């Protein structure tokens, strides 16, 4: 299979989400190949799922810290993009179910992580999200897992979310390179103060990052190269695109 690979570097939250929507639109109209994109966030940003509440976050604290907040076109829960690599995939469903596509994409990411020396597995079970999302502790993405999510020793290393546009699939994922995703709790609204300790405890018990696993810093560039090679090896993809840096 021939795909396009894009490394668009570090850009604003608004730019990153608009760019991913444009990738899905281009693919849907037949004007591009299936695409794997990797990118970062500058300034750092919190992204929330398309159905999540902005009211759960303190806008004044975010502004004072210089951190953006943006809504993703996919589902899932909140992520602080501060020490991680984000990927997106735009591709054709090709008659496959959302679950089959989720596993296909996550196998590519997982293969890349194994190339880094991280022995990850795909989770075999899922939270009951209808019930779980009613709990304030479910605000962060990394406190809950779906089936076929990427785990290391039963702790979540990559959080992913998916949306279907007709026959086109857009999937986002955040690969934790360090532990700064934990600082999400600092920007929750005052009404959630009583739940901060529980949320942090859940984050610590449910998530893990590449630096903690390997005992060394994993750079954005190293992670991006590993993810690309993982898709090549696990999914039989030949990338014909170029690595680019887009200024927002």
- Which residue is listed with tokens 């299979």? 1
What b-and-e string marks burial along 3-21, b requiring 16 or more CB atoms within 10 Å of the CB? Answer: bbbbbbbbbebebbbebbb
Which pair of tokens denotes residue 19? 């760019």
- Nearest Cα residue to 175 out of 55, 18, 15, 36: 36
CA distances from 243 to 3, 8, 218, 228, 240 (A): 13, 7, 19, 11, 10
Q: Residue 96 region, left (φ>0) first, then alpha (ψ -120 to 50), else beta?
A: beta
- Nearest Cα residue to 152 out of 98, 104, 114: 114
| Greatest pairwise CA separation for the chain in angstroms | 51
Run of H or E residues at 151: strand 150-152
Query: Catalytic annotation on 111?
Result: no
Beta-bridge mates of residue 158: 150, 175
* Cα 203 to Cα 248: distance, rounded to the nearest angstrom: 31
Tell me phi and psi for residue 244, to 5 degrees. Answer: -130, 160
**Would you mind telling me the total number of residues written for the chain in this entry?**
248
**Exactly one of 141, 150, 203, 224 is catalytic; which is it?**
141
Instruction: Give the residue numbers marked as catalytic.
Output: 141
């Amino acid at each position: 299979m021939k795909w396009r690979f894009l490394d668009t570097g570090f850009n604003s939250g608004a730019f990153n989400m608009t760019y991913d929507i444009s990738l899905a639109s281009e693919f849907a109209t037949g004007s591009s190949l299936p695409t794997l994109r990797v990118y970062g966030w500058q300034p750092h940003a919190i992204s929330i799922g398309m159905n999540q509440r902005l009211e759960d976050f303190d806008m004044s604290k975010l502004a004072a810290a210089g951190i953006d907040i943006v809504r993703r076109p996919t589902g899932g829960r909140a992520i602080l993009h501060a020490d991680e690599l984000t990927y997106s995939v735009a591709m054709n469903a090709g008659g496959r179910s959302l679950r089959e596509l989720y596993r296909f994409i996550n196998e590519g990411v997982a293969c890349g992580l194994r190339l880094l020396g991280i022995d990850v597995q795909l989770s075999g079970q899922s939270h009951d999200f209808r019930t779980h999302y009613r709990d304030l502790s479910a605000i962060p993405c990394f406190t809950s897992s779906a089936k076929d999510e990427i785990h290391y020793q039963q702790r979540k290393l990559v959080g992913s979310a998916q949306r279907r546009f007709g026959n086109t699939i857009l999937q986002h994922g955040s690969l934790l390179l360090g532990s700064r995703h934990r600082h999400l709790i600092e920007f929750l609204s005052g009404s959630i103060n009583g739940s901060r300790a529980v949320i942090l405890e859940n984050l610590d018990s449910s998530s893990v990052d590449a630096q903690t696993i390997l005992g060394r810093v994993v750079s954005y560039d190293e992670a991006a190269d590993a993810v690309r090679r993982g898709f090549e090896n696990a999914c039989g993809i030949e990338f014909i695109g170029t690595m680019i840096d887009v200024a927002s």
